[in-house]
Structures are given as structure tokens and as C-alpha cells.
Amino acid sequence: MDKIFKDVADNVTWLSGIGADPTGGTTRLLYSDYWVEAQQGVKKKMDEAGFTTYFDDIGNLFGRVEGSTYKDETIMSGSHIDTVVNGGKLDGQFGVLAAYLAIKYLKEQHGQPLRNLEVISMAEEEGSRFPYVFWGSKNFFGLANKDEMAGVADFEGVKFVDAMRGAGFDFRDETKPLRDDIKAFVEIHIEQGKVLENEGKAVGVVNSIAGQRRYTIVLNGESNHAGTTPMGYRKDTVYAFSKIVTQSIDKAKKNWRSTRTYFRKSRAKAKYG
Ligand SMILES: [Zn+2]
């Protein structure tokens, strides 16, 4: 077991060094030199472990161990290789390394698997270089739109398409079929929150994800003479706004409490039957 922990630590340290930022953390933006170096470095590791490795058209990297029996069924695991500016060691790249190390370990311990096991090191998920997100996974599912990228450029004015071709990749060949062999996908990812720490848990299994929505709401009140307008005649937007804010937060807290109770109960049930 100690060897595995050491392998994980060594690999995280190694990969964090590619794009290590003098101002802290790792800065490895999509299609940058460091990004290419990281993808090539992970590829080399997987080659050395005897995986079959390849890139797709846009630069997602794959490392595969063929199954012996269920040849059209693949269990995939991985995460994204790009980082935000000053990104943390465990965001994205940990999921890539965890998948690589787990599959390497399984292969060494148990030989050829029944189903194909495959690592994906996704090109992009952070939107930190170009104003566009999920370029890696969207291409995997055929959801990325080439036309959307036409005017896209980074902060220095480098066009998306030039950066992509500069790194040796191009748009997805849309005549190629999409994959339908993925039977399960697991992404190991740092929580980036405090729940596990506060609850004293090592791992959380995620079965749903927070969906953010943003609204622009206009409240129309009525200005009036403060001294002579009795409370009943006022139409005060700040008051209305404060109600909206407190009621929304109360509602969210109530939902959170009931979800937590639900999970605690179902956990207790699973434990004690
Ligand atoms: Zn991430």
C-alpha cells in the first residue's frame, strides 16, 4: 500500500512541475507549450506501462488496456489536464493520474481485464485561456461546434484555431462515428469544498451535481418623500429585495437540511438493514 501512496505523491509532484508557476501553483492553459509537454508526458508514462495510447483530433489523450472478453465494453476514468492560472495540484490532473495508476496497478496485479479499461486525459475543462469551456468532453460527445470557435481568441489575441493547430491538433473529423462502448465512467476529483473535511470523511461518491443558474431581476419601486409617506404607502425596492434574498436563502437551507437527512437515513438503513 505504501508503494501506491508514494507512486501517487511522486506522480502528482512530477506533473505539477510542468507549468509550475513562479507566482504559485501550476498554470497550464489549453494548447500552451506546458499543456503539450504534460499530455506528452502522461502519454509516455502510459506507453511505458504497456497501455495503447492515442490522441483524438482535438488533443484528448487516451490510454487503453484491451479486455479479453467484453471487447465492445469500456470502463473509462480520467479528468482534465488543463489548469486555471495558479491551479492546485489536485484539480484535474489528479483524476488523470489516479486513473492511470489504478489501471496500471490492476493490470500488474490481475493481468488482462475482462472489459477494456481506458484513461482519458481531457484537453480542456477550465475555460481559463479561451472564453469557452468543456472543449475536451464536448468533442468526445460530438457536441462542440466548429463555427462557434471562429472568432474565439485568448487574452493576448491568439486565435483558438491557431493555438490548436500550433499544438498539432485540429477540429474533430465529423465523419468519424462517436463512441458507444463506454459502459461506465468515473472521475476522481478534489471536492473543492468543505463537506468531507467537516464531516471527517475521506471520500464522497457524487450522484448529482449542483446546477447553477443566474438571473437578472429588475425590481421597480417608487420614490417618495421619506418624512411624509407612511409605511403602508411605500413601495421600497430595497425591502422587496431583502425579502427575496432571505427567502431564497431560507429555502436553500431547508432543501439542504432535508437532503442531508435523507442521505443520513438511507446510509443508516444501508448499514443496519
Ligand atoms: Zn477540475
- For ligand 1, the distance from its centroid to the CA atom of residue 15, given in whole angstroms, is 15
- Ligand 1 centre from 231 Cα, in Å? 50
Instruction: Tell me, in angstroms, the distance from the centre of ligand 1 to residue 267's CA.
Output: 28
Cell numbers linked to 37: 509537454
Between the CA atoms of 7, 12, 14 and 19, what dihedral angle is there, to the nearest 10 degrees? Answer: 170
pLDDT category, 208, cuts 50, 70, 90? confident
91 CA to centre of ligand 1 in angstroms: 5
Q: What pLDDT is attached to residue 29?
A: 97
Q: 77 CA distance to ligand 1 centroid (A)?
A: 14
Query: How close is the Cα of 62 to the center of ligand 1, in Å?
Result: 18
Query: Residues 8-19: what's their mean pLDDT?
Result: 96
All three cell numbers of 266, joined, read 438511507
Confidence check: pLDDT of 213 > 90? no
Regarding the domain with residue range 2-196, which homologous superfamily does it belong to in the CATH classification? Zn peptidases (3.40.630.10)
For 217-231, what is the mean pLDDT?
Answer: 93
First to last CA, the chain: 32
Q: How far is the CA of 222 from the centre of ligand 1 (A)?
A: 46
* Helices within the chain (DSSP H only): 2-16, 33-48, 93-110, 135-140, 160-166, 195-199, 237-272
Residue 56 CA to ligand 1 center (angstroms) comes to 20
pLDDT by residue (tens digit) across 99-153? 999 999 999 999 999 999 999 999 999 999 999 999 999 999 999 989 999 999 9
Q: How far is the CA of 209 from the centre of ligand 1 (A)?
A: 13
